A and B are shown apart, each in its own frame.
Chain A
Amino acid sequence: MKIFQYLSSLNQEDLDQLYKDNWTCQAILRSLPPIGKQFILKLLMIDSIEFEQTKIWTQEISNQVHRETFKKLFDLKLLTKNKTCIQLNSIFQHNIKQSLMDMEHRVFSSDTTVKELKAPTIDELDQFSKTQWEKVLYLLSDEKSDSIPLISELLQSSNLTSRDGNGQLAITSEGFKFLLKDIYTQIWTLLIVYLDTIEKKYKSRIELLCFLFKLSFLQLGRGYLVSELTQLQKTLLTDLKQFGLIYIKSNDNPYFYPTRLIISLTTGKTLSLMQDIKTEQALSQKEQGYIILETNYRLYAYTSSSLQISLLSLFVKMLYRLPNLAVGIVTRESIRMALIHGITADQIIDFIRHNAHPNATLAGTPIPDVVAEQVKLWEAERNCVDYSKAVLYNSFPTLDCFNATVKYAKELNLFIYSNDSKKILVIDESGNEPIRNYIRKNFG
C-alpha cells in the first residue's frame, strides 16, 4: 500500500513519535498484510526471539513470503534486530497491549456522539464524498473547471498536472496513470503530498498522520464535536473536507461527520462496511463499463458523468452529448493531442479496455484490433526519429580504403550511414575501436 512506502521512508525518530499514538498503532496493525499480522501476534507477548527460530513459523514452500514480510516489518521499524535476536518495537508493543485491555474503545469522549437534529444520513455522506472526490479528479482532466486552490496546488506539486506552453494546466502522463488507480491509492497519493506541504508549514506531519489514523476509527453516520479537537486539527479538518474525507455543514457547525472514504482509508479496501457491499458492487459494476468503441473509430460512452466525459475528451473528439450518452470519434489529431500531453498509446488502450461496456466485452474484444493498432501507429509516427550515439569518419586517404572500411563495418554490424561522394562513414559508437584498428592495420 502507498502509505507503507511513505512510512518506510520516515526516520526512526519520526516513526517512534508516530507509534506513541495508540490509534495509529492499531491502524497500522490492521492494514498490514495477513502474514505480517500473524508475525506481530507471535511476537506480541514475548520479549525477543532468535531470528533463526522464526523460520519454523512458515511452511517451507512460502519462504519468499516469509522474507518479504520480515523486510516490510523491518522497513516500518516495527521490528528491531539486536545481534541475532529480533523484537517488536517496544512502544508499539506496549500500545497494542494497552489497547487489548481497553474495554471502552472510545476515540473521543462519549458526549461527542450526541445526535444532531439535522444529521446527514449515510447516503448523503456517501454522496458528498463521491461528488467531492469527483471534483478533485475533474480538476485533473478539465483545466477550465472551477479550481479548488488547495487541490490544484497539490495536483501540481505531485506532478499530476503541469503548465503547458500557454500556461494552461494540463494532465501529465503521471496524472493519467493516477486516474487508472483505485480510489484509496489516489487519496493517499494526494494526502502524502499534502503531508509534505503541512510539514513545511507547521512541522507537524506526524500529528496529522496520527489524526488521520484516529479518524479511521470513527463511526459512519455519527457526528463528533469539533470543539474536542486541537487548534491544528481544526484547520486540518477544513482541508480534509475538500478531499471529501470529512463532512461539515458549515465552518462554524459544532459537529463533523466522517465519510466512508476516511473510515476505510487505512484498510484500503474499496468494499467497506459490510452492509453496503452488495449495493456498492452493483454500483461499481454499473460504473465500470460504459465505453463502446466501433471499428469505424466511433466511440459511444453510456454515461452522464461529466468527469468521465472530460476524461474521454483527452483523446477523443467529442461530437454529441445526450442525457445518458456521449458520442465521439477517435481521430489522429485527438490521439496526437493526448500523446503530446505525455499519455501513451498503451495507457489509452488500457483505459478503454478497463472501462469497456459489458456488451462490448461479451461480443469479444472490448477494443477493435484495427483501432488499437492504429492508435499504436499514431504513437509510432511521433517516434520516427531514432537516436543512437555514433562516430563519424571522414577524409579517407583513398577510395579503396573507404570502400574496404565500409564493407568491414557492415560485416561487424556497426554500419549506420555512409556517403560515397563525400567519403563519410558513420558507425555505432561501440565500433570505434575495431574500425580504427582495422584502418591502422591495413592502410596506416
Chain B
Amino acid sequence: MVIIESTDEEEYDTSLLVIIVDTNIYSWGNRILQMSNKTESTSSTKLGSSLIGFNTFVEHLMVFINLHLMLNQENQIAVISSQIGEARFLFPEPHQSQSTKSEQKSIQNIILGKLLHLDTTIKETNQESTSSNFSAALSLSLCYINRIKKEVPIIRPRIFVLNISPDASSQYISVMNCIFSAQKQSIPLDTCILSQQDSTFLQQASHLTNGIYLKPQRQENLSQYLISTFLMDTYSRKLLQCPTLKSVDYRATCFCHKRIVDIGFVCSVCLSIFCSYSSSCSTCGTKFSLKIEIPKSRKSLSQPSSQEQPTNNKDKVEY
C-alpha cells in the first residue's frame, strides 16, 4: 500500500479529557440548603447567581461527556470523583481499558451507577474531615494521563475540574506539586467553580497551566458554559478567544498550620513558608541562628526576617 503521510499534526484535535468531579456530600448538601433558603426569601437577591442541585448538575455533565465523545471518534474520557477522604475512578473502571468502549452506550450508565453507589458509601464512613480529597484526585488524573500518553503518544490531554467545595488548605503542598507537574507536561487544567467563592488553588492552577478558569453566573445554563468554553481542544485554544482571569489570588498556605497567609516567613534554603517564626525549618532542618526581636527592623541577611507590620503589603515575603 502506498501511503504518504499527510497528517497535519497541527490540526490534530484528538483529546483525552479527565474530568474531576467534586462529589463532596456536605458541599452538595449545603447547596440544597442554600437553594431552599433562596426560594423562601423569594428572589430578594435576584442578582446573585442561580444555583443548581446535584441531579441537574449530573444531567449537564452527561450532555457534556456525550458531546466530547461525539466530537472525535478517538476522543477518550476519564471521570474521577473527589470525595471526602479519597478519590475514585468513576470511569473507566480499573480493569476495563479505554479501548474496549464496546459499550459506549453504557459510559453514562457506569458513571451514574457509580454515583448512586457513592452516596451510600459516604453515609457509612464517618470521618472527621469534611473536605474532599482534591489532591488525590489530581494525582490520580496525572498518573492516568501519563499512562494513556505512553499508549497513545499523539493524544492531547487536559484536565477539567468541576469544583464546589472550598479549598482545603491542608492539601496546599500536594496540590501545588500536582499543578507544577501538570505545568511541566503542559497539560491545561480547566476549572469550573460551582460555588460562590473563588478557589485560590484552582485560580493558580489554571493560571499556571494555561487553563480556563470560570465561575458561571447562571448555573441553570451550565451546559452552555461547558459546551462553548470547556470543550475547546488545545489546538483550537491557540486560535480562538478563551476567557481569561483578570486577577489571580497568589496567596500561599503556610507549611506549619496550613493557614493562608498574606505575609509570612520563608526558609532561605528550601523556600518553605511559615506563618510564625521558629528556630529551625521543619522541612529541610536548617537552623536559623538569628533571632528577630525588633519587628520594625529590616535585615536583609540570608536569614528569615520578620515583617510583622501588616501595612507593608508590597513585599509580602522577605529574606
Residues of A within 8 A of B (CB): 26, 29-30, 33-35, 37-38, 41-42, 44-45, 56-59, 62, 65-66, 96, 99-106, 130, 133-134, 137, 179-183, 216, 219, 222, 263-264, 266-267, 269-275, 277, 284, 287-288, 307-308, 311, 354-355
Contact = CB atoms under 8 A, between A and B. Distances in A.
Interface in B72-88: 72-74, 76
B1 A137 contact: yes
B239 A56 contact: no
Contacts of A307: 1
Contacts of B102: 219, 222
B208 interface: no
Contacts of B99: 273-275
Contacts of B76: 274
A271 B70 contact: no
B197 interface: no
B46 interface: no
Given A37-B71, A133-B1, A45 B109 contact: no
B223 interface: yes
Contacts of B6: 181-182
B108 A103 contact: yes
B24 to A, nearest CB: 26
A38 B7 contact: no
A179 B62 CA distance: 44
Interface in B98-130: 98-99, 102, 104-105, 108-109
20 contacts: A30-B71, A30-B73, A33-B11, A34-B11, A34-B236, A35-B239, A37-B13, A38-B236, A44-B227, A62-B240, A100-B66, A103-B62, A104-B105, A106-B105, A137-B1, A182-B6, A263-B73, A271-B154, A274-B98, A274-B152
Contacts of B293: none
A388 to B, nearest CB: 37
A99 B2 CA distance: 37
Contacts of A183: 1, 3
Contacts of B97: 275
Contacts of B108: 103
Nearest to B64: A100
A35 B240 contact: yes
Contacts of B70: 26, 29-30, 96, 99-100
Given A34-B11, A42-B228, A103-B105, A274 B151 contact: yes
Contacts of A103: 62, 105, 108-109
Interface of B: 1-7, 11, 13, 62-63, 66-67, 70-74, 76, 97-99, 102, 104-105, 108-109, 151-152, 154, 223-224, 227-228, 231-233, 235-236, 238-241
A41 B228 CA distance: 6
Contacts of B4: 180-182, 354
B1 A35 contact: no
Contact of B74 (A99, A273, A308): A273
A38 B240 contact: yes
A274 B231 CA distance: 21
Nearest to A101: B63
B71 A29 contact: yes
Given A37-B13, A267-B73, A58 B7 contact: no
Contacts of A269: 7, 74
A308 B2 contact: yes
Nearest to A62: B239
A100 B231 contact: no
A264 B72 CA distance: 11
B74 A287 contact: no
Given A59-B240, A65-B239, 15 more contacts: A35-B239, A38-B240, A42-B228, A59-B239, A100-B66, A101-B63, A103-B109, A105-B105, A182-B6, A266-B73, A272-B73, A272-B74, A273-B99, A274-B152, A355-B2
| Most central of A34, A62, A104, A355 by chain B CB within 10 Å | A34
Contacts of B151: 274-275
Contacts of B13: 34, 37
B240 A57 contact: yes
Contacts of B67: 41, 100
Given A30-B71, A33-B11, A34-B11, A270 B3 contact: yes
A151 to B, nearest CB: 16
| Most central of B102, B232, B236 by chain A CB within 10 Å | B236
Nearest to A106: B105
Nearest to A102: B66
A96 B67 CA distance: 9
Contacts of A58: 239-241
A284 B98 CA distance: 24
Given A29-B70, A219-B102, A267-B73, A134 B227 contact: no
Contact of B2 (A26, A37, A101, A180): A180
Nearest to A42: B228
B144 to A, nearest CB: 15
B233 to A, nearest CB: 6
A274 B74 contact: yes
Contacts of A266: 73
A66 B228 CA distance: 16
A284 B108 CA distance: 36
Closest 9 CB pairs of A and B: A34-B13, A62-B239, A275-B99, A105-B105, A104-B105, A34-B236, A42-B228, A103-B108, A267-B73
Nearest to B224: A45
B240 A105 contact: no
A26 B223 CA distance: 19
A99 B72 CA distance: 14
| Most central of A37, A65, A101, A270 by chain B CB within 10 Å | A37
A259 to B, nearest CB: 14
A37 B67 CA distance: 11
Given A34-B13, A41-B227, A57 B154 contact: no
| Most central of B6, B70, B99 by chain A CB within 10 Å | B70
Contacts of B98: 274
Given A41-B231, A100-B66, A35 B236 contact: yes
Contact of B233 (A30, A34, A100, A271): A34
Contacts of A66: 239
A355 B2 CA distance: 8
A66 B236 CA distance: 11
Contacts of A130: 1
A228 to B, nearest CB: 17
Nearest to A41: B227
A181 B104 CA distance: 33
